Structures are given as C-alpha cells and as structure tokens.
Amino acid sequence: MRIEILCTGDEVLTGKIVNSNFSYISQKLEDFGLTVVWGTTVGDDREKLLEAFRLAAGRADAVIVNGGLGPTVDDLSQEMAARAAGVELVLSEEWLEKMESYFQRRSRIMPPNNRKQAMLPSTAEILDNPVGTACGFALDIGGARFFFTPGVPRELRRMLEEQIIPRLLARSGIQAVIHLKRFHSYGIGESRADTLLAGIEELVPDGAMKLGFRAHYPQLETKITIRGTDMDDVLRKLEPVTAEVRARLGNFIVSEDDRTLEGEVLGGLVAAGGTLALAETFTGGQVAARFSPQPGAERVFVRGVAARSVAGVAAAVGLAGEPDGVEIARALAAASGASHAMAVLVDLDEGSDRIDLGGTIRIAIVAGDRVETREARVLGGREWVRLGATEMGLDCLRRFLLGLPVAERIDFEKV
Amino acid sequence: MRIEILCTGDEVLTGKIVNSNFSYISQKLEDFGLTVVWGTTVGDDREKLLEAFRLAAGRADAVIVNGGLGPTVDDLSQEMAARAAGVELVLSEEWLEKMESYFQRRSRIMPPNNRKQAMLPSTAEILDNPVGTACGFALDIGGARFFFTPGVPRELRRMLEEQIIPRLLARSGIQAVIHLKRFHSYGIGESRADTLLAGIEELVPDGAMKLGFRAHYPQLETKITIRGTDMDDVLRKLEPVTAEVRARLGNFIVSEDDRTLEGEVLGGLVAAGGTLALAETFTGGQVAARFSPQPGAERVFVRGVAARSVAGVAAAVGLAGEPDGVEIARALAAASGASHAMAVLVDLDEGSDRIDLGGTIRIAIVAGDRVETREARVLGGREWVRLGATEMGLDCLRRFLLGLPVAERIDFEKV
C-alpha cells in the first residue's frame, strides 16, 4: 500500500514550527509495517490544497492529511476535502452534539465559530477525537482513501493509533502480525548499541526481524520489529531476541515498551514499601517534576527541595554551611520522614553557555544504613548538563532499588 | 517567485529524524521576504526522485533540494539531477582538488568513495561548501532553477546564507519585506481570541496583514504577519495593529515575540531587586522547573519546596497542621529569606483520570506586607489540571509583579 502524508498549515510551511507530526506519523506507521512513500507540505491556501489533494489521490492508496480542522477562517480542510471529492459540506448533528457536551462538561458556552468544526463532506466517515473538538474524518478522493487529522499532537496521536492504523491494516490486506518491542536505555550511544547488537537479526529466520534505533538524549530507544503469521508465532520468535538484547545491553536498559525510567523507580519504591524525598541544585525541581506527576506517586513522594546552591539546599533541610550530598540526603530523610532520600548536586562550569561547557554531578542516595554515591562529569552546554543530571539521578535511584551497581561508567561522561 | 523545498532521504521520510532542515530553510527564506509555497519529501529512490524533480520543475521558479550529496550508494542527488536535466555526469576537477586538500589539511587520506562527490551534472554551477566534502550545485531543470544542498545542518546553513539566498534575491527582484509579530496569551481560547480580534486586518490596507493563531495549551499564540516595501514601511503598518491587539487582549497577553511568561516573571523580580521561593503540591516541582532553568534565575531562585500534601509542604517550611496558602508563603519567605514567596496548592478530585476530572487551584503570593490570593477550579484530567496550575501560578506572579489584577477570570476555569 502506497501511503502519502500531506501536512497543511502556514505555520508548518513557513517553518514557524518544526513539523514533528510528520515524523511521528511516519514512524508510527513504520512500526506497524506500513510504509510512507511521499510527503507533501502546503499552506492554508485553497488552490494549493486542491492541487495537493489531486496529486496525492493520483499516486497513493491512502493519504493522511494533518491540520486545518480548527474553528478559524484559515482552517480549510473540510471545505477543500468536499470540493476535491465533489460533494457538499453538511452539518453533522452527531459531532455538533459531541462538541456541545464537550463544552458543557467544562462549564463553558460553545463559541459560535466552533460550529464550523461540525461541517463535514457528505460522504465523510467520522474518526472520533475523544480529547478535542476537531472532528477527524475519512473519505474517498479519486482512488485513494483520505484520513483527515487534527494538528494538535495529542489529538493526532489518539486518532492515529485508535482510528487510522486499524483501518490501514485492514485495507492493506497483510495477514501478517507485526509486533514492536522497545528497550529504553540510558548511558550508551547509538553507535555503541549498534555494535553491541551486531548480528542479532540472525536469531530470527527469513528476515522477519528488523532492528532500529531512535536517539533522544539522554535516552536511546532500541526497536525490534518482528513479523509473524500470528501473535503466537511473533512471541515465539521474539523470546530469544529479548533475552539476547537484555544480556547485551545489560544494566543500561532502564525500561521496556511503554514503561519509563521514572515508572521503574516508582515501582521499586512501592515494592519496597518506601517513600521518597529529593534535594536538587541546578536541576531546579526537574528531578521531582519527572517523578511526581505519575499516578500513585502522591503516596510515595514526600518532599522535594530545590535551591540555587548547596548552601541553599542545606538551609532548606536544616543544615548550616556546605555539607556533602550524603549529609544532605540524611538530613532530608530525617526531616521529611521519607525512607529514601536522594541529593542531586551539580557544579556547573563558569562562563557563558557553549558546546563544551560542563558540569560535575554528585549524587547521594540514603536509605536507613545504606548509602550509595556517584560522581560524573558531563560536557555539552547548560541544557545538556541539566538533562543529563536529571536522568542520572533517576537512573542511580533505579539501580539502587534494583540492587545494581550505582556507579557504572556511561558513554556520556568524561573520564 | 514560487519556491519549493524538496527534502530527500529515507531517514527523513520514515521519521527517524525530525525534519528540522525544512523549517530552517523556510524560516530563513521568510526572513528575507522569500515565500515557500510547496514542500515535498521523498526517500532515496530513483523513480520517486525523478518524479519529484519533474513536478517541482513544473510548478516552481526555484527549488531547494536538501540531502543526497554524500559519498554512499544511497546518495542519489547528482545522478538524478543529471538525468532530470538530460545532461551527463562529469568529474569536477575543481571539487576533487578541494576535497583532496580538505582531507590533507586533516592529515587523512581521502577514501575512494568520496570521489563520487565530485561527479556533477555537466551544466552545474558549483555552490561552495567551506565546512564539508559535499559539493553544492545549481542547475536548470525545465523552467526552474534547482539548488542542491547537503543534509548536514551546519553545511546547509552556510550554503543557504552565503550562496543561495543572494542568488534567490537577485532572481526575485522583489523589494518586499515581511515581518512576523507574535503575542503569547494565557486565559483565552483560540475561538474567543478570534472573536476579540475580528476585523483587525482592516487596520492595514491592501491585504498586507495576515492574522493567525497557534494554540498550545495553556498558552495561545497570536501571529500577525505584515508585508511592506521596507522595514520602515512594515513598522509603520504594524504600530496601530500592535496597539489594538494589546488593547483587545489586555492583561491576558503574558509576553511578546521571543519572550516567555517565565522570562517576564524573572524580569519583574530582577527589576524589583527581589528573590523568589516557591511551594507546590500536586505540580510537584513543575513551577520551579519552569522558572529555574533560565539564565540569570540562579541569582533569584532561592528555594523550591514540593510535597504530596499541604501538610507535607507545611512541614517543609516548619509549620504544623494544615495552614492556608498565605501562611505557607509567609513561613517560606521567612525560612528562605526570599523577598517574594508563592504557594501553588492543588486539591485534585478523587477517582481515576478522566476528561472531566478537575482540581481546585489555590495560589497565594506574599512580598513583605503585600498579599494576593487566587482560587480557581479547572477541569480536563490530571495533566490538564497540572499544566493549568503551573501556568496560573506563573501568570499570577507576573500580574502581581506588574500590578495587574491577580484574580481575573479566565476561559479555562469553571465558575
């Protein structure tokens, strides 16, 4: 099946926003064995939209259109879809009611211009949007099936996964089952992971396995796609691969699939019947902000303290002077009553931000009599050091809770 | 002049990398009054490249092709450019010498496959690349001038600015300047902003102004694009529009252009010679994490405290029981020595996450004898409440520092 992605909107065309929706859609489809062969970007312009719809209809079997479903005058997708398909725009009572109840639940009156979002081409099949007022829809233009999606990322994501991918898989006629297994690691770069996993495809016969990576500092995602006749076949093929990836990437794997590093830390604390307190400098609350939003964290996260300096954090836990991380963590645990306390303290280099600006990260974790510390130097500018310190803090806590070595050297630190 | 950007490469098409080159090129051209009207993305595929070149040659006056100039077998740009133009590929002695000296200066031997980078269509005009081995070039295909650029961002940037933009400006002959003015607001939805600003385009004659919005909850961006003969003309046209937008959106505008809400708060504190301490429940450090990373915040941000409950925050500032926000802010200011202290306390509804789950946000700000409070109820699920509380806290602080009403009703709250 030939799939085209058609992104609309002046913001995207003029580069005011980076088009991350395109890469999200394309990658998500790849994960399901669906391949995008063409990408088009046009602005909020009737003539260009019509031309783009016509071209896509002529060369693709399925077209995913992103953007242009909002309530304002520059949102043209429904109008141009109707014109390209040669049908009328009609009011969808179904969607109008949905929108009205959406506003009602929020105790707001629906502004009159939102009514425009319920005007759909007469042949449109509604694609539900449970998290917004933009109505997704599908219809035929020429020989291709067009799927219209909202530009708001969280609305697009829900619609793509729940509404569009199942329809594309059904249309593609592929009987095969495709499964994506993901490993999230922290501490190894893409090229080292590639080397460590060399030849792993040979564990699965007939080229039914594909290995890929996606680096988003500080984490690396390793993606294994397995194709099989049914889910049993897939799981049978996947088993030795999973075991081998775990063995080769070892302690650097922080989580798998939809699980997260912070989720593993929360899970470890819950399993231990523990509670957590955090002290930070420079990261300024980011370690706490990663951990605390998780459902269930409210029963575990007792206290977070952030300050601009070690002396500031010390004062906040009732100490004077410049104590070390272990002393701070101990005082924090005592003051807050938490079973586990961690201090993440960063000494940032002096001077203006630059690519080789570095920081020294000092981590201390205390739980009763057990104490672990970690020190590392990271280069790469202010934001790089901040992201690295937040990740390293959470990873050290994960290792502490799982009984793994806390001070294992990573690729991103300077010896 | 009609300009098209044509991005090539499997990594971009499959979404493995986000296509930030596209937005870079497009935005840079806009800055010079050059408008991109079409974007195309195809993979490393001969047939698709040829088709994309043919289509672009038919609808554009100038085409910027990005990627495919490397030394490996999947780099196809020169070969397909020659085929599309109907000319031969010939070895450029000039570029070969440049590459050899490039390697020599780095004390390396040029690998044999780099020779491929000096094979150019016979009609090509070389576009210099002072920072890499990929040879940029320009040539005519059909009625359009094609500019071939490297995929490596820093090589692309140099070539675009030094080689391509001057050529495009010379060809365009247009004297027009385009300017983008942005307003960031918090508290009004896109539909209401659209209504509030109805008819504002009429302030500028001849359709030289365009109004657009970009919603990214909790903020809304209002964008005014003005076209003029030169920068003086643009600024003259912009002045009444800016005054009118400020008057109509009023206190809801939190910042303009590249400035941010947290930046305005920092600026306000610096202007007042003040320092800041923060106490949070439920947002769990996110207010601090928004404020503290800013350059210069380290001189202002004295202490942040987060806990799962009011009692937990109270304990962290030395109070017992369940004090109110003002008492907490007062105790925090006293304990930390900060001139300004804010408490952001959230009572989240019971039960599992759902779209109509809500929270009651209580904000208290204290600075010496001055005290302001704000209470609001927001619905929309855990994340929505969390984002809303973080934004409302920062916005109340901005209003407090600017002497604006702190308790002004917003669209996102339930009455």
Least Cα distance to B68 among B48, B95, B44 occurs for: B44
Task: Kindly list the residues from chain A whose CB atom is less than 8 angstroms away from the CB atom of residue B36.
Answer: 13-15
C-beta separation of A151 from A67 below 8 A:
yes
Nearest CA in chain A to B42: A38
**Mean pLDDT to the nearest integer, B128-142:** 94
- What pairing do the DSSP bridges indicate for beta strands B62-66 and B119-121? unpaired
For residue A242, which amino acid is it? Answer: T
> What domains are defined for chain A?
3-172 (3.40.980.10), 177-256 (3.30.70.2860), 261-414 (3.90.950.20)
Alpha carbon distance A151, A133 (integer Å): 12
Does the beta-carbon distance from B301 to A307 stay under 8 Å? yes
Q: What is the ipTM of this complex?
A: 0.73
- Percent of chain A with pLDDT strictly greater than 90: 78
A123: which 2 tokens? 């042949």
pLDDT band at residue B278 under the 50/70/90 scheme: very high
Specify the pLDDT at position A175: 64
Using the predicted structure, report yes or no on whether residue A168 has a pLDDT greater than 90. Answer: yes
Specify the pLDDT at position B351: 87
Q: Residues A52-69: pLDDT tens digits?
A: 999 999 999 999 999 999
Q: In whole numbers, what is the pLDDT of chain A averaged over residues?
A: 93
Specify the pLDDT at position B175: 60
Alpha carbon distance A394, A288 (integer Å): 10
C-beta separation of B363 from B375 below 8 A:
yes
Q: Residues A356-368: pLDDT tens digits?
A: 889 999 999 999 9
Helix (H, G, I), strand (E, B) or coil at B43: coil
The residues in B 186-215 lying below 8 A from A, measured between CB atoms, are: 189-192, 194-195, 210, 212-215
Does the beta-carbon distance from A106 to B356 stay under 8 Å? yes
Using the predicted structure, report yes or no on whether residue A100 has a pLDDT greater than 70. Answer: yes
Nearest to A298 among B12, B308, B353 (CB): B308
C-beta separation of B77 from A80 below 8 A:
no
Other Cβ atoms less than 10 A from the Cβ of A324: the count is 14
Specify the pLDDT at position A73: 86
Q: Can you point out the beta strands (E) in A150-201?
A: 177-186
Task: Kindly list the residues from chain B whose CB atom is less than 8 angstroms away from the CB atom of residue A38.
Answer: 40-42, 48
Specify the pLDDT at position B173: 76
Q: Residues B234-259: pLDDT tens digits?
A: 999 999 999 999 999 999 999 999 99
Q: In whole numbers, what is the pLDDT of chain B averaged over residues?
A: 93
Indicate left, alpha or beta for A86 from its phi (over 0: left) and psi (-120 to 50: alpha).
Answer: left
Distance from CA of A95 to the nearest CA of B (A): 17
Specify the pLDDT at position B102: 86
Nearest to A23 among B19, B27, B379 (CB): B19
Using the predicted structure, report yes or no on whether residue B174 has a pLDDT greater than 90. Answer: no
Alpha carbon distance B112, A129 (integer Å): 54
Specify the pLDDT at position B318: 94
B303 contact A CB<8A? yes
Q: Residues A318-331: pLDDT tens digits?
A: 999 999 999 999 99
